[in-house]
Chains A and B, each alone.
Chain A
Amino acid sequence: MRRALLFAAIACVLVYSAMGTSLAAEKVTLNVWSSPDNADALHDLATQYTKQNPDVKIQVTPLSWEFLYPKILQDVATGTGAFDVTTWDVMTAGAVAKGMVDLQEFRKAHPEAADPDYDWNDYDKMIWKTWGVWNGVNIGLPFYPASMLFFYRKDYFEDPKIKVKFKAKYGRELTIPKTWEETIQIAEFFTRKYNSDSPTEYGIALMFPRTHTLFYMYPIFFAPYRRSAEGISKFGEVNPDYGDYFTHDGKPAFNTREGVKAINIMKKLMSYAPDPLGSDYGETLEYFSNGTVAMVPQWFGVWASFVASEKLKPIEKTVGVANMPGGHPVSGGWALGLNKASNHKIEAFKFMQFATNKNNDKYKFLKYGLTPARISTTKDPKVQNADARMDVFAEALAKASHRPRIPEEPKLEDVAVNVLSGILMGSIDPEEGLNRIAKEWIKILED
């Protein structure tokens, strides 16, 4: 009996795998790697593209950040060519640049592949430079040029009864927080442990896990100091390649009084957040979608999840969007890059143009909530009136702080996240920890 079962199983398997190989037709197959937040939109665009061009098959593979980044680096280092097109994170520009095709050169060399209606001047200069260019070379097409935004429960912030209680307790009006100090107070008010009347269990959802997430959370607390008049005079203007972590001449800026202040604010806020050290992107999304918290700093594209949440219906009444307290969110998001090791560069380049052309830039915003990259899209009335995010988007993007995007970024990030996480969980003294990061960073940059 057992033997018969085994033979049957093996036979099934053989037939199945034989089918698998014979079904692979002789078309061009493009491998597109995507971060999870872009995957649905890219998948949709890929399906449309294949419908128009049946000889090109496109396989969109979503990979989580911690998986995608090492894999791109691996491919860049060894030239394997495992992907043709990938989304690369804005902060990884320097690290991945070596492996990406110079698109302007490519366009000149292959005029037959260029889309005549593409309109290369339709990009805002700042967006083009940040999400498309490294070291003067065009290594990507801006796809999802995002910044973080501050989402809050509009229904609670506007509820007269709640407002009265807040005023009675703190002696001032309940308003959307402009600074992190105000946020601490409001977060306390919305935490049931400190206020049994609170409609939510916790005030704010924070993500300080042991992943790259923590590396972008620190700047939204540090940048308000780094970019204040005092900070500018102390550290100099922000160099966009080195970002807010550094002074204008590439020295660590955070191992200072200001850096310690930022981390102390993070520690204070943690008392009003559900499991901040154990939560990542996905968890904070669920906290907010399920009504567990009243506020959350999150990315532009999470809107689609909030819209789908049963507990946040109707979304126009329940969710408000503002710029980050302290005024300086962090920049992020993605560009589409073409792998130097790809065997199908022409087809890949055509698809990249298709995915970012005027029509589809608008389409991916309206359907999937991804940030518009083109000027024509932001000027479109339908886009402007689409949802509450558009009111603050321009301001947030203009004021956004930056992470370093130099080639040494992966190492800097791993060192920083490790120690920052240690400081937040209380096992390392803030000042000592920040000094330790600075010391190791200097060593990495000198090598």
Chain B
Amino acid sequence: MHSIKEIFKYILLLALVIFFFFPIYWLIITAFKVSSDWFDWPPVFIPTRFTIGNFLGTEGGFQGSLATAISSITPYLSNSIVVALVTALASMLIGSLTAYAISRFKIGGMFFASWIISIRMLPPIAAALPLYVMFSHLNLLNTKLSIILGHLVFTTPFSTWILITFFNDIPRELDEAAYVDGASMIRTFVSVILPLSAPGLAAVASLAFIQSWGEFLLALILTSSAESQTLPIYLGRFITGWRIAWGPLAAAGLVTMVPVMTFSLIMQRYLLRGLTFGAVKY
């Protein structure tokens, strides 16, 4: 009786794991499938022939495949890297300054803190509409700066919030000792607080990086060419009225997914702390 229940439990678990893992598996194998395996019935679940042609733009051989080749993805890849990196660093910097002020001096009180939360809750589309109009007046549309600013609006509240919880864990006596020694506030902040909260800073930077990397709606609206578009937009533009070139699409999806997934797995515990406003400390 007991062992049947145990077996049943593992079967159930296996079924659930298949459900969560299968779409990813499918994406990965499709990226390496030869074109004759893309549309087969029954579908090819365990490919026996593999190719990297989907990445090079040589597989499929006609209509639009060169458009999905790696050589055309590089500008988007480098845009994604620049945007996500600058967003991460800037949101860490802005967030840490504010977080210190809130943690130590309670500026703004509950109002300020609630305001930060509500920005996190703001639907991007509601912000996108006025941002679009604003940026068009400022002549900032279709620049990397416009997406970076847009992403900062959504990542900085996170960063600030998490850093407050980190700074709160640092004993106050440490900065007070520094003040007694005659150090200025900025000096105390830089030489006492920051070194002690290095893991926190790394956490918020990676979180912002992950968020910025995958963000779609703002980037879709604010940018229009390879000078500023990021990887999600590169993928988004293939989705209708296009030959369903699954191999190259999956390959491009893989390029978009792998960096951020690796990052997320490494930063798993902080990811959670950020996503739940520190309700989960782990």
A/B touching: CB–CB < 8 A: yes
Name A's B-contacting residues (CB within 8 A).
2-3, 5-6, 9-10, 13-14, 16-17, 20, 31, 33, 36-37, 39-40, 43, 59-68, 71, 74-75, 78, 80, 82-83, 209, 211-213, 280-283, 285-286, 290, 304-305, 307-308, 310
Q: Which of B139, B227, B237, B240 has the most CB of A within 10 A?
A: B240
Known: A6-B206, A67-B237. 16 other contacts (CB 8 A): A6-B266, A20-B78, A31-B225, A31-B227, A36-B242, A36-B243, A40-B66, A66-B239, A67-B236, A67-B240, A71-B224, A213-B241, A282-B243, A286-B39, A304-B62, A305-B62
- Decide: A281 and B242 in contact? CB cutoff 8 A: yes
List the B side residues contacting A290 at CB < 8 Å: 39
20 contacts between A and B (CB under 8 A): A6-B202, A6-B266, A16-B81, A31-B227, A36-B238, A36-B242, A39-B67, A62-B67, A62-B237, A64-B238, A65-B240, A66-B239, A74-B224, A78-B141, A82-B141, A213-B241, A281-B242, A282-B243, A285-B243, A290-B39
Chain B interface residue count, CB cutoff 8 Å, equals 34
User: Is B118 in the interface zone, CB < 8 Å from A?
Assistant: no
List the A side residues contacting B47 at CB < 8 Å: none
Q: Give, as a whole number of angstroms, the nearest-CB distance from B51 to chain A.
A: 16
Q: Which of B93-121 contact A (CB under 8 A)?
A: none
Distance in angstroms between the alpha carbons of A6 and B141 in the assembled complex: 32
List the B side residues contacting A282 at CB < 8 Å: 241-245
Q: Give, as a whole number of angstroms, the nearest-CB distance from A303 to chain B.
A: 10
- Decide: B224 and A82 in contact? CB cutoff 8 A: yes
Nearest first, the 4 A-B pairs at minimum CB distance are: A282-B244, A82-B224, A62-B67, A65-B241
- Decide: A211 and B241 in contact? CB cutoff 8 A: yes
List the B side residues contacting A2 at CB < 8 Å: 266
- Decide: B62 and A80 in contact? CB cutoff 8 A: no
* Beta-carbon nearest neighbor of B142 in chain A: A82
- Decide: B243 and A59 in contact? CB cutoff 8 A: no
Residues 195-230 of chain B, each 1 if its beta carbon lies under 8 Å from chain A, else 0:
000000010001000000000000000001111000
Distance in angstroms between the alpha carbons of A263 and B244 in the assembled complex: 27
What number of A-B contacts does a CB cutoff of 8 Å give?
112
Q: Which of B72-98 contact A (CB under 8 A)?
A: 78, 81-82, 85
Q: Give, as a whole number of angstroms, the nearest-CB distance from B57 to chain A.
A: 11
Q: Known contacts being A16-B78, A40-B63, is A280 close to B224, with CB within 8 Å? A: no
List the B side residues contacting A285 at CB < 8 Å: 243-244
Q: Known contacts being A16-B78, A17-B85, A40-B63, is A64 close to B237, with CB within 8 Å? A: yes
Distance in angstroms between the alpha carbons of A3 and B266 in the assembled complex: 10
- Decide: A310 and B241 in contact? CB cutoff 8 A: no
Q: Which of A14, A62, A283, A285 has the most CB of B within 10 A?
A: A62
Distance in angstroms between the alpha carbons of A68 and B240 in the assembled complex: 11
Q: Give, as a whole number of angstroms, the nearest-CB distance from A288 to chain B.
A: 12
- Decide: B67 and A83 in contact? CB cutoff 8 A: no
Q: Give, as a whole number of angstroms, the nearest-CB distance from B64 to chain A.
A: 5
* Beta-carbon nearest neighbor of B244 in chain A: A282
Residues 223-266 of chain B, each 1 if its beta carbon lies under 8 Å from chain A, else 0:
01111000000001111111111000000000000000001001
- Decide: A66 and B82 in contact? CB cutoff 8 A: no
Distance in angstroms between the alpha carbons of A17 and B144 in the assembled complex: 13
List the A side residues contacting B239 at CB < 8 Å: 64, 66-67
Q: Give, as a whole number of angstroms, the nearest-CB distance from A3 to chain B.
A: 8
User: Is B3 in the interface zone, CB < 8 Å from A?
Assistant: no
Q: Give, as a whole number of angstroms, the nearest-CB distance from B241 to chain A.
A: 4
List the B side residues contacting A281 at CB < 8 Å: 241-243
- Decide: A36 and B61 in contact? CB cutoff 8 A: no
Distance in angstroms between the alpha carbons of A14 and B84 in the assembled complex: 12
Distance in angstroms between the alpha carbons of A71 and B81 in the assembled complex: 23
* Beta-carbon nearest neighbor of B266 in chain A: A2
List the A side residues contacting B206 at CB < 8 Å: 6
Q: Which of A40, A211, A282 has the most CB of B within 10 A?
A: A282
List the B side residues contacting A5 at CB < 8 Å: 266
User: Is B136 in the interface zone, CB < 8 Å from A?
Assistant: yes
Distance in angstroms between the alpha carbons of A286 and B66 in the assembled complex: 19
User: Is B36 in the interface zone, CB < 8 Å from A?
Assistant: yes
Distance in angstroms between the alpha carbons of A60 and B241 in the assembled complex: 18
Q: Give, as a whole number of angstroms, the nearest-CB distance from A230 to chain B.
A: 34
Q: Give, as a whole number of angstroms, the nearest-CB distance from B232 to chain A.
A: 12
List the B side residues contacting A280 at CB < 8 Å: 240-241
* Beta-carbon nearest neighbor of B206 in chain A: A6
Distance in angstroms between the alpha carbons of A33 and B225 in the assembled complex: 9
Distance in angstroms between the alpha carbons of A74 and B237 in the assembled complex: 15
- Decide: B225 and A82 in contact? CB cutoff 8 A: yes
- Decide: A43 and B67 in contact? CB cutoff 8 A: yes
Distance in angstroms between the alpha carbons of A67 and B242 in the assembled complex: 11
- Decide: B240 and A75 in contact? CB cutoff 8 A: no
List the B side residues contacting A39 at CB < 8 Å: 64, 66-67
List the A side residues contacting B81 at CB < 8 Å: 13, 16-17
List the B side residues contacting A211 at CB < 8 Å: 240-241
Q: B63 contacts which of A6, A68, A305 (Cβ < 8 Å)? A: A305
Q: Known contacts being A17-B78, A36-B64, is A305 close to B141, with CB within 8 Å? A: no
* Beta-carbon nearest neighbor of A209 in chain B: B240
* Beta-carbon nearest neighbor of A285 in chain B: B243
Distance in angstroms between the alpha carbons of A75 and B61 in the assembled complex: 33
- Decide: A66 and B64 in contact? CB cutoff 8 A: no
Q: Give, as a whole number of angstroms, the nearest-CB distance from A174 to chain B.
A: 27
- Decide: B224 and A66 in contact? CB cutoff 8 A: no
- Decide: A308 and B244 in contact? CB cutoff 8 A: no
* Beta-carbon nearest neighbor of A43 in chain B: B66
- Decide: A64 and B78 in contact? CB cutoff 8 A: no
